[in-house]
Structure 1
Amino acid sequence: MARIIIADDDEFFVDLVRAALEPLGHAVGALSDGDNVSAVVNRKQPDLLILDCSMPGKTGIAVLREVRASKTYRVPVIMITGRTSHADEDIGYQAGADDYMRKPVDPDNLVVRVEALLPEPLRRAG
């Protein structure tokens, strides 16, 4: 079981992520803006962080840069966003994202990508 934090202001999308990951045994916590993400990540030490690029407060890119500059810099991060340009994707990777997905997200694809970034002991069985 992995501890996963998602920062996204879209409640429907947060529910979709939970519906995809919680049945696998993962615990999913959610934040609706970018202002407190770095502090929560430092305190909770999640196994994976999912960030939206555009949310109230700090952007996902700003949060990602903070996380990469902190003691939790090694936490895997997936950027998931409605931004569709390759330039936005490049910015995400340059800021330190481990993966980048565009909305709408296929839940099965999300599961595959999350599992690929988790250490072996935290992946679902089978």
Structure 2
Amino acid sequence: MNIVIAEDNEILRKSLSFFLTSKGFTVDQFSDGQEALEAIEKNNYDLILTDINMPGKSGMEITQYVRQNINSDIPIIIFTSSGVEQTELDSFDIGANEFIAKPISPAVLFVRINKLLNIRL
């Protein structure tokens, strides 16, 4: 299973990548939303993990582009440090499947990923 992580926080991005790789996933990681979006257009990913606030393109812009321009139903999990309820609602309105507030628990993220990908634990 191939996952793309778009997260500008290097420590979080690398730690999530390491964790998911240890669970058997192949992970491509990007600190810039535009670079992530270009990779999404060229590659077949099974899941997108994206932060909302990033350089290049935001997680909201990535989600909207994937849903409207690529017309893909690939599962998307958005995470953010924003605790604003409207941000979460907006994420679901544009097509996100899950929304996780930071700090992110790798164990909880793993369960949500498996649920979205219909993988038995």
TM range (shorter): over 0.9
Structure 2 equivalent of residue 6 of structure 1: 5
Superposition pairs of residues 63-78 of structure 1, within 5 angstroms: 63-71=62-70, 73-78=72-77
1:53 aligned to 2:55? no
2:34 match: secondary structure: coil
Distance in 2 between residues matched to 1:76 and 1:84, nearest whole Å = 22
Structure 2 equivalent of residue 37 of structure 1: 36
Distance in 2 between residues matched to 1:17 and 1:117, nearest whole Å = 17
Structure 1 equivalent of residue 113 of structure 2: 114
Distance in 1 between residues matched to 2:69 and 2:95, nearest whole Å = 12
Cα RMSD between the aligned structures? 1.4
* Segments of 4+ moved more than 3 angstroms: none
Q: Decide which moves more: 29-38 or 105-114.
A: 29-38
Shift of 1:72: 5.1
Whether the 8 Å contact between 1:5 and 1:46 is mirrored in structure 2 is yes
The answer for unaligned runs of 5 or more in structure 1 is none
Shift of 1:19: 2.8
**How many equivalent pairs are there?**
121
TM-score by length of 2: 0.92
Name the aligned partner's letter for residue 70 of structure 2: K
Name the aligned partner's letter for residue 95 of structure 1: I
TM-score by length of 1: 0.89
Structure 1 pair 30/77, CA: closer, same or farther in 2 (3 Å)?
Answer: same
Q: Decide which moves more: 100-109 or 28-37.
A: 28-37
Name the aligned partner's letter for residue 67 of structure 1: V
Distance in 1 between residues matched to 2:71 and 2:51, nearest whole Å = 18
> Sequence identity of aligned pairs in percent?
30
